[in-house]
Structure 1
């Protein structure tokens, strides 16, 4: 997965009672396979996120 600043990260879930999460990439950290992101989530908090297999990128373009 590769995202750039301004892209949206969407985390889909297979758990029935868990909601889909969405956030905006505000910083790209690391490189290559170690790339991770500082994300501002829709609920207002911010965190460093290491993407998993349930994540996808929605391009800001």
Structure 2
């Protein structure tokens, strides 16, 4: 998964009753085999995120 600042990330929950997480990529920290992104989640907090198989992206401007 290759993301750019401004793209949206959606992380589907694999637990019953847990909500889907959504956020915006603020910064690309690392690319390649082990990508890392700074994400501002819709609940307002930021974290460093490495996407797993439960994540997918919406490119900026596709909403």
TM-score, normalising length: structure 2? 0.90
Equivalent residue runs for 1:17-28 within 5 Å: 17-28=17-28
Structure 2 residues not aligned, in runs of 5+: none
Structure 1 residues not aligned, in runs of 5+: none
Q: Deviations over 1:31-51 (max 9, x none)?
A: 211211000000000000011
| Structure 1 segments (4+ residues) deviating >3 Å | none
More helix by share: 1
Query: RMSD of aligned C-alpha atoms?
Result: 0.8
Question: Aligned residue pairs: how many?
Answer: 61
TM-score, normalising length: structure 1? 0.93
